[in-house]
Amino acid sequence: MNPTPLSQSGTLDPTDWDELRAIGHAMIDDMLDYLRDVRDRPAWQRPSEEARAALMAPTPREGKPLSEVYDEFKRSILPYPTGNIHPRFWGWVMGNGTPVGMLAELLGGAMNCHVSGYDQSAVLVEKQVIGWLAELMDFPVNTSGLLVSGGTVANLIGLTVARNHALGQGVRSVGVNNSRAMVYASSQTHGWLDRSCDLLGFGKNSIRYVNVDEHHRIRIDLLHEQIDRDLASGLKPICIVGNAGTVSCGATDDLHALSDLAEQYDIWFHIDGAFGALAKLSPKYRGLADGLERADSVAFDLHKWGYMQYELGVVLVKDGELQSETFGFAPSYLDKFSGGIAPNPTEFASKGIQLSRGFRSLKAWLQLSTYGTDAIGAAIEENIDQIEHLRKLVARTPHLEQVGPSAMNVVCFRYVPENMAASGVNSFNAELLVRIQESGLAVPSNARIGDDFALRVAHTNHRSTREDFDILIESATRTAELMLLESDSHDPPSRQD
Ligand SMILES: Cc1ncc(COP(=O)(O)O)c(C=O)c1O
């Protein structure tokens, strides 16, 4: 291949396709091996000093052969990922993708479609995928939807449609000035809501975070009272947000009760089902997301429990016209024509925020077509069963205790040394978490449940086995015991005795 990427004809295509083909084939082989052997590597490791230095190189004004650049990728980039593809990564809520998803990225990259609209296969694929997803979520056949970067943007889009439903499309011109709009959600709602109300101009003070019960489900009685109080004082309730899978404990609100309330007051009902909505794919556990089908809009992530490659979020909206009116735009440079490529160049761009959009739907299409939705549902089912296994392990292991409720695919737990003050237990578990991560053996993350710091396992990993959870618990116990031995010899004051 040319020493510089520019070929003699001046394009960025190679002059020698065969040389590029050879490197391309090697890349595919290497990456398939990389995925096959993922279990043999650490779940996470810190980027080396050499890698950090290599990735601070000056701007490459002149190129070099792809083979050299690829070697550098293998040296400085490939060994240091987040780790979420590893079988013992259960931190935050990260999915791990599939080899088929990786190949889909390659195919989509070759086509490199611009999917704002236009008469092309990518539009048909996205419509088909939205149709499949609507069916899986028990939404009506003519449901509108959009594939986006992730749950945050999917939720933002749902809330924006809710805003315009309540305030009218005039809000697009005059803004939300003095609308006195209020949004309702449980105290366990993910931070997307704060960010969305901030961006939409309502401000975070427009959110009523309602307390939850012992299962971390929104208190319907308190919500009801709050809406009544707000109406009596001239405020305008515009949206009830339900959770299907809260971030800390995996709780799902009583979605039927929320829907009843939304109907009673004619308020938009949006659900953040970032991961929990996917429980609908499991025949055994679909009841965990029961009532989701009654929402006006729902957001969820295929890059979490759909096991698809990043980035892939979904928003479904029952009232497609309202969604298109909320985001519609028609500048002269994007005119519609009765023939040619552009009968509707902003068809998808008018359902969300992006104009230029990539071919995200191909990942979903290829993966769902290849594995079938039953297999995805079976993997989800296995994850939930494995979490039950972990709950039992925690319950029967001395010094470990579950923290807060545990639903669906999430468990929080901590190690409680004898005679240690509560504040000490929190910092002890924070240190324990870091040590487990740094060991490379497993990656849980953390949660704060009330005043308690906990290690948190959120399981959306199709590569984990039950033995992986045995390893986590052994490692947590062994590490905690070692820390106690160290503190006995170096730092006795951190313990009460
Ligand atoms: C419950 C919940 N909602 C929303 C989000 C935001 O999704 P994303 O990170 O894809 O933007 C997350 C992410 O973990 C989540 O767990």
CATH number for the domain that contains residue 478: 3.90.1150.170
pLDDT, tens only, 227-239? 999 999 999 999 9
Give the nearest ligand 1 atom to 94 CA: 14
Residues 399 and 414 in one domain: yes
Q: How far is the CA of 297 from the centre of ligand 1 (A)?
A: 16
pTM exceeding the 0.75 threshold for the entire prediction = yes
Residue 428 binned pLDDT confidence (cut-offs 50, 70, 90): very high
Give the nearest ligand 1 atom to 153 CA: 11
Task: Verify whether ligand 1 is closer than 6 Å to residue 152 (CB atom).
Answer: yes
pLDDT, tens only, 158-204? 999 999 999 999 999 999 998 999 999 999 999 999 999 999 999 99
pLDDT at 462 over 80: yes
**Measured distance CA(15)–CA(20) in Å, rounded:** 9
**Where in the sequence is the domain holding 365, given as residue range(s)?**
113-370
Domain boundary pick from 81, 101, 135: 81
Give the nearest ligand 1 atom to 273 CA: 1
Average pLDDT, the chain: 96
pLDDT at 497 over 70: no
pLDDT, tens only, 389-418? 999 999 999 999 999 999 999 999 999 999
Percent above pLDDT 70 for the chain: 97
Which pLDDT score is estimated for 495?
38
**Strand 268-272's sheet: what is its strand order?**
144-148, 313-317, 297-301, 268-272, 236-243, 181-186, 207-210
Task: Verify whether ligand 1 is closer than 6 Å to residue 190 (CB atom).
Answer: yes
pLDDT, tens only, 291-301? 999 999 999 99
Task: Verify whether ligand 1 is closer than 6 Å to residue 444 (CB atom).
Answer: no
Which pLDDT score is estimated for 489?
80
Task: Compute the average pLDDT of residues 253-268.
Answer: 98
Task: Compute the average pLDDT of residues 78-88.
Answer: 98
Residues 325 and 205 in one domain: yes
The helix/strand/coil state of 406 is: coil
Give the nearest ligand 1 atom to 93 CA: 14
Residue from 148, 253, 304, 308 to probe ligand 1 pocket by mutation (most atoms less than 8 Å from CB): 304
Which pLDDT score is estimated for 490?
66
Give the nearest ligand 1 atom to 311 CA: 10
Q: How far is the CA of 283 from the centre of ligand 1 (A)?
A: 24
Task: Verify whether ligand 1 is closer than 6 Å to residue 253 (CB atom).
Answer: no
Residues 362 and 404 in one domain: no
pLDDT at 446 over 80: yes
Domain boundary pick from 309, 341, 370: 370
Residues 325 and 438 in one domain: no
pLDDT, tens only, 48-67? 999 999 999 999 999 999 99
Number of domains in the chain: 3
How many Å separate Cα 18 from the centre of its chain?
39
Residue 212 placed within a domain: yes
pLDDT at 436 over 70: yes
pLDDT at 321 over 90: yes
Residue 95 placed within a domain: no
